[in-house]
Amino acid sequence: MKKLLLLVAVTASFTFASCKKNYTCTCKDNSGFSASVTIHDTKKKATAACTADASAYAGSGITCSIN
């Protein structure tokens, strides 16, 4: 019984650790223009996707961040 309870607890902790949520990626340029997009994923993957958006415009003064 204790092993079953431990297995359920460990499984639940992994489930909660990788929850997908809505994150907002906001990109701004030097002129003050900004645009936002909602990303439904884990925070790690959403941050990577938002950073990739900023990298695509490298050198143009566009910065992106997760809010």
Distance, in Å, from the CA atom of 54 to the CA atom of 65, rounded to the nearest integer, reads 8
pTM beyond 0.75: no
What are the tens digits of pLDDT across the range 12-65? 555 555 688 999 999 988 888 999 999 999 999 999 999 887 777 777 788 889
Structure tokens at 47: 């941050």
Distance, in Å, from the CA atom of 54 to the CA atom of 28, rounded to the nearest integer, reads 9
